[in-house]
Structure 1
């Protein structure tokens, strides 16, 4: 017999399996020895002072529960099969490669950066020695920007079947089972590298190719059809078509597309700073208590507001919030200063950090008109270079306490930080455009009215957070997913402007390769 249960429980019962078993036994009327269960959904309701955990269960009475973890998949051998060219080994590229194998095609993947293990040395060089390798950094390399991130698996997609499929593949390659049922699942930056390596091994074992430290510098076009790519070494590779999954920071690819008269367009994005609070403060705000206790996870938040300036209305919102995390340098070239956030799987760090960013529309970029569809990229780059100078021309980040920023005052001292290269006390208006700094200032005052504790001089603004999403969209047909002008070219994932995170990028990678094979296979 199978029975479904929906329970509302306090944390100490919801997160302890033995206590949960007793409750299930009581609810069903069956002896604890005769029942097994699977958690299908678990979420936290912290809207009231008495926190409730919603738990949906599938209870198996007098029969064993099925294995919740999919059996690791043995992919068919793709050796000698027709080939698909995939540019980029982030979530979109890796999942496109696995899906191609499932459909009987052999993926050839090109990644400008290094494999996930070797990449770590370049990350250490950024943190410790201010050395930015433009081909291997927090954005470029196996697994893409998502490998060294919080590993959030949230998405606005409504396609539950696709979502579960991606989650199950992740579990089959080493992710924890709880991502299958937690309302806001994440993997953690410490768990992502071995998982990415496992995905790679599945591709290689099935006969696929992955070329690391191999930069694509040109396309092979024949009468309006994309046939393949040319690498920096001068080697040409062709397939039935190309899935372009290069990520939001591959500026050279955007320039190449523009140079080759392959249509691209400006895409709105957001830019601002990272804000860092003590995690204990966020916990007390969200859980209405001095301590979250031993069972609740570190609290997250999501906030947004609208502000009206003379130049127009702008959204101000939190982005990629990392509980118990740390801030990292995410520049992709020397002379830039960029930050991002991440968390380990336990989210047990002292600080909480989040992007706090302002929407950037075409109306804000009139002075960049000469750059055409690359105007957003030019704006982004200019702000990052100014931030680099403000930080003393190093990977030290310009920073300012929150209340000081609102009061237009340079902070005489700064607090300790999770940002390893260090901070430089600065007036952030030295590099932030006026509409961004004023939007942030008014946004913080709005947040103060809603959440007084959030507005504190113990919080620090660290900048610049500029790589929230791609400033370029590569237009494609809504149905076929093919580029609107170039046949057999499938712009994909965050870099093409069609995804915003690991899950949506992975799903987009699968859809693009499916459409490519459907049309040209």
Structure 2
């Protein structure tokens, strides 16, 4: 027998396992003499009222053998001797494309410019401590992609793009906690993701797929309007039935290669701004309406803000992006001479600070001065601001920073606050770095955001810049139905780097869909 209950309970009742079992047993009306099995299937925190409540949907079984929480083991056949396809990039899109190819009986060959997930750590340490940027191994490039060392949020609104539950179950099967199947805003944590990525790699290799690290694609083999393979930095040529291009939103060399080879691409709107860092305790007190601390049962509070601004008669949104409770700000540049910041959180989200990107939409109409770059206009705009931030910081990874109220009042910050950003910060007037239309809109938005979240607008918070890699500044077009590039047969642009995803889950779903389309059309027909 099964009952499904929708409960509204206190944080203590929701997160204290003993109390939770007691509440559910009582509400179910079932006797626990035979040993009830209680399984939460959905959980979310409602902090809108003065009293924080937790909404929980739970299944209660009065039988000894409930159905499994995740589907039975998927069939990953050995594809070592099967026809192969090429996947450029070992981020979520690339790895999930590879797993799906194996399920469909095709051998995936992944080419990754960076290192395996463990080896990346040494390069990240050098980036944080010695300010050394390795263009092929950093927070963006390497096994697992940008998400591996940049938080691990699994929330997506892209429900029409594929089966979210399927992606979550695959993650659980490879080491993620079952809580990600329950929580409204699931999160793995940057400290847990490397192990999960290693397990995904093992699955691909054990099934006969290939993964080549330190293998940078430098050219495409184009013949008669079709791509038959790629060339690598070492001069090797690899061929397959098609190419999944899943390079992530920061692979500028790939965008330049596409442009040079006259493969159709287009400039794409994105967003740019800063990271805001507050004390996490302040955000907890604002969001949970608590006078001192949130208590032991509530997780560190998050927030989401959107503020419309009007400048020169044009309405434009200013919004929070990739909010990290209890997290860290990290240097995410992919080339020397740039400053890029991003946020991440460990699984427990127990850091002292909360940080979030606060960014402004950049439209193509803002890029008139970059027209000479054609489809790469937005990319060069983005890069120019990152380089200006680096110069302002002293041509190291020291990031420019300014207190929030000082920024709004155009006042220099004589003293900065403590920060989680390990390479260090330097007091700079951020208006000197940011384009005027971005700086002015941020200055307009912060006081208004403070009206929505009382206490948010404060000089006890600071801006650290620049937050510029919110999404790809280039779109690689593809047919809406076939997902194939409209000009180059067998080329399947995929994930964030092509402009079709915005995070781990949406990228993974896009990788699966692209490989299904490619195999459906070309399996058994090598290029």
Q: Same fold (TM over 0.5)?
A: yes
Q: Counterpart in 2 of 1:471?
A: 473
Q: Return the offset for 1:50.
A: 1.3
Map 1:106-505 to 2 at 5 A: 106-159=107-160, 162-290=163-291, 291-310=293-312, 312-505=314-507
Q: Distance in 1 between matches of 2:308 and 2:315?
A: 7
Q: Counterpart in 2 of 1:21?
A: 21
Q: Distance in 2 between matches of 1:347 and 1:492?
A: 31
Q: Distance in 1 between matches of 2:322 and 2:25?
A: 40
Q: Distance in 2 between matches of 1:482 and 1:59?
A: 46
Q: Distance in 1 between matches of 2:14 and 2:47?
A: 14
SS at match of 1:513: helix
Q: Distance in 2 between matches of 1:66 and 1:159?
A: 27
Contact map agreement 1:154 1:503 (CA 8 A) in 2: yes
For residues 12-51 of structure 1, the C-alpha deviation after alignment (integer angstroms, 9 at most, x for no partner) is 1111222222222212222223311211101111110111
Contact map agreement 1:70 1:172 (CA 8 A) in 2: no
Q: Return the offset for 1:69.
A: 4.5
Q: Distance in 1 between matches of 2:72 and 2:463?
A: 45
Contact map agreement 2:332 2:340 (CA 8 A) in 1: yes
The verdict on how the C-alpha distance between 1:147 and 1:65 changes in structure 2, with shifts beyond 3 A counting, is same
The verdict on how the C-alpha distance between 1:161 and 1:229 changes in structure 2, with shifts beyond 3 A counting, is closer
The verdict on how the C-alpha distance between 1:161 and 1:39 changes in structure 2, with shifts beyond 3 A counting, is farther
Q: Counterpart in 2 of 1:8?
A: 8
For residues 159-194 of structure 1, the C-alpha deviation after alignment (integer angstroms, 9 at most, x for no partner) is 497101000000111101100010000000000111
Give the ranges of 4+ consecutive aligned residues of structure 1 lying more than 4 Å apart after TM superposition.
69-74
Q: Return the offset for 1:312.
A: 2.7
SS at match of 1:453: coil
Q: Return the offset for 1:70.
A: 4.8
SS at match of 2:49: coil
Q: Distance in 2 between matches of 1:342 and 1:98?
A: 26
Structure 1 portions without partners, runs of 5+: none
Q: What is the alpha-carbon root mean square deviation over aligned residues?
A: 1.2
Contact map agreement 1:21 1:32 (CA 8 A) in 2: no
Q: Return the offset for 1:311.
A: 7.0
Q: Counterpart in 2 of 1:36?
A: 37
Contact map agreement 1:331 1:339 (CA 8 A) in 2: yes
Q: Distance in 2 between matches of 1:142 and 1:501?
A: 15
SS at match of 2:33: helix
SS at match of 1:107: strand
Q: Distance in 1 between matches of 2:33 and 2:514?
A: 48
Q: Return the offset for 1:227.
A: 1.1
Contact map agreement 1:298 1:324 (CA 8 A) in 2: yes
Q: Distance in 2 between matches of 1:72 and 1:285?
A: 44
For residues 231-254 of structure 1, the C-alpha deviation after alignment (integer angstroms, 9 at most, x for no partner) is 011111111100000000000000
Contact map agreement 2:275 2:466 (CA 8 A) in 1: yes
Q: Return the offset for 1:156.
A: 0.7
SS at match of 1:62: coil
Contact map agreement 1:108 1:209 (CA 8 A) in 2: yes
